[in-house]
Homo-oligomer: A and B are copies of this chain.
Amino acid sequence: MLWLVGAGINGYKGLSLHAVDVLKKCDIVFVERFTSALADSDIAGINAAIGKEVRPVQRWFVEDGREILDAAKEKQVALVTYGDPLIATTHTELRARAAKASIKTAVLHAASGIASIMGECGLHMYKFGRTVTMMSEPKSALSVYNIVFDNLLAGNHTLILTEYSHDEKTGRPFFLDPSTVLKMLLDTEKDVRYHIISEETFVIVASRLGADDQRIAAGKVKSLAGVGFGDGPHSVIIPGSMHFTEEEALEALTVCLDSPADNAAQARRVSAQMVERYAPKAREAIQQMRGILRKEGESKGMHEVLDNAEYYIDDAERFLGQGKHELAVLSIGYAEGLVDALRFQKGINPWNP
């Protein structure tokens, strides 16, 4: 039998009473040390708590998994992991392989880093959209930016996990710095221009969650520029619309440098940006066209076409207000088509009158 046992986020003392009972009865206890969150003193702590020597293993050993599964065919085997055991996909895969090999499995859940970060910031967990990880390679920034945009459009918060790895040679941990994460998002904003990230954006940086020197700083991007965040791991949260209890909790529970602000209010759908930009231009074009028709004389039905164009611009703005974004864009496009049909016929360059 294979037990997947979470150690939580506070060293070995995050093990539950149930976990200790189970580990005492197990024949072999592997402890995964990938994230280095379980220190030597934690290994000693587990040994003392369960009255036997555990076997620290690396992530590759768990990914390979054969020795663990072989042992679990005959014996009671446990794998102790940082956080909750089923957040890392490696562990779910190992569990599925065990099940396929008819090895019984059980999971002892524990505090997960992701859920804990969401709670520690004072934000409501159910208001988080998709979580994403920022890697140091530049092209990572666009997908993170797009997920932040999608989440903001829905008013949702985004948890951005950051790259965390080990130098293969020195074994020293590498943490992507939150300042770099924010700079990558600002740079992407310059290219993509959805107007969601600026020096005024309100963000939260959670550092060293679960450690004694855990710290959560919040404020505008420009206010956080001078802050040294120290060692990792770090996470960056871009909040969307906040309930007033979330704002109060942020101010009470974090190092909060500015008043919390609603980032989602500025996130405008591409459709809304289009209608707002094109509606006045289309109205102006209609006026110009009417002037030309008055001067040059009109062909049959042309004023009727312009009347219809005006109706459809009104429709576009009404649909936008009703949240019918696609119909709003369709209507403004239609109105522009009506106007430009006359312009083509009149031989005017429609895009540079």
> Is there contact, CB below 8 Å, between A85 and B119?
yes
Which chain B residues lie closer than 8 Å to A295 at the CB level? none
Which chain B residues lie closer than 8 Å to A271 at the CB level? 326, 329
A332 lies within 8 A of chain B by Cβ = yes
Task: Tell me, rounded to whole Å, the shortest Cβ–Cβ distance linking A83 to chain B.
Answer: 9
A265 lies within 8 A of chain B by Cβ = no
> Is there contact, CB below 8 Å, between B122 and A346?
no
User: For chain A residues 12-49, which have a beta carbon within 8 Å of chain B?
Assistant: 12-18, 20-21, 49
Q: How many residues of A contact B (CB 8 A)?
A: 94
Given contacts A109-B210, A245-B96, A338-B340, contact A126 B119 (CB under 8 A): no
Which chain B residues lie closer than 8 Å to A330 at the CB level? 274, 329-330, 332-333
A150 lies within 8 A of chain B by Cβ = yes
Which chain B residues lie closer than 8 Å to A107 at the CB level? 119-120
Which chain B residues lie closer than 8 Å to A95 at the CB level? 122, 249, 252-253
Task: Tell me, rounded to whole Å, the shortest Cβ–Cβ distance linking A54 to chain B.
Answer: 15
Across the interface, A333 reaches (CB within 8 A) one of B116, B118, B332, namely: B332
Given contacts A109-B8, A116-B86, contact A128 B130 (CB under 8 A): yes
User: Which partner residue on chain B sits nearest A269 by CB separation?
Assistant: B326
> Is there contact, CB below 8 Å, between B8 and A120?
no
Q: Mark A104-132, 1 if CB is under 8 A from B, else 0.
A: 01011111101110111010111111111
The distance in angstroms between the C-alpha atoms of A122 and B92, with both chains bound, is: 6
A154 lies within 8 A of chain B by Cβ = yes
A99 lies within 8 A of chain B by Cβ = yes
User: Which partner residue on chain B sits nearest A98 by CB separation?
Assistant: B252
Task: Tell me, rounded to whole Å, the shortest Cβ–Cβ distance linking A226 to chain B.
Answer: 24
Given contacts A130-B127, A333-B332, contact A17 B15 (CB under 8 A): yes
Interface of chain A, main secondary structure: helix
User: Which partner residue on chain B sits nearest A111 by CB separation?
Assistant: B109
A10 lies within 8 A of chain B by Cβ = yes
> Is there contact, CB below 8 Å, between B253 and A99?
yes
Task: Tell me, rounded to whole Å, the shortest Cβ–Cβ distance linking A306 to chain B.
Answer: 9
Task: Tell me, rounded to whole Å, the shortest Cβ–Cβ distance linking A274 to chain B.
Answer: 6
User: For chain A residues 74-97, which have a beta carbon within 8 Å of chain B?
Assistant: 84-87, 89, 92-93, 95-97
Given contacts A87-B125, A333-B329, contact A249 B93 (CB under 8 A): yes
A residues whose Cβ falls under 8 Å from a Cβ of B: 6, 8-10, 12-18, 20-21, 49, 84-87, 89, 92-93, 95-97, 99-100, 105, 107-112, 114-116, 118-120, 122, 124-133, 147, 150, 154, 156, 161, 210, 245, 248-249, 252-253, 269-271, 274, 299-302, 304-305, 308-309, 312, 325-326, 329-342, 344-347
19 more CB-based (< 8 A) A-B contacts, given A13-B17, A86-B125 = A10-B108, A12-B17, A13-B21, A86-B118, A86-B120, A93-B248, A114-B115, A115-B115, A269-B326, A270-B325, A274-B330, A305-B345, A329-B333, A330-B332, A334-B337, A337-B337, A337-B339, A339-B341, A341-B342
12 interchain pairs, CB-CB under 8 A: A84-B116, A92-B122, A96-B122, A99-B252, A105-B253, A110-B111, A126-B131, A299-B345, A301-B347, A305-B345, A330-B332, A338-B338
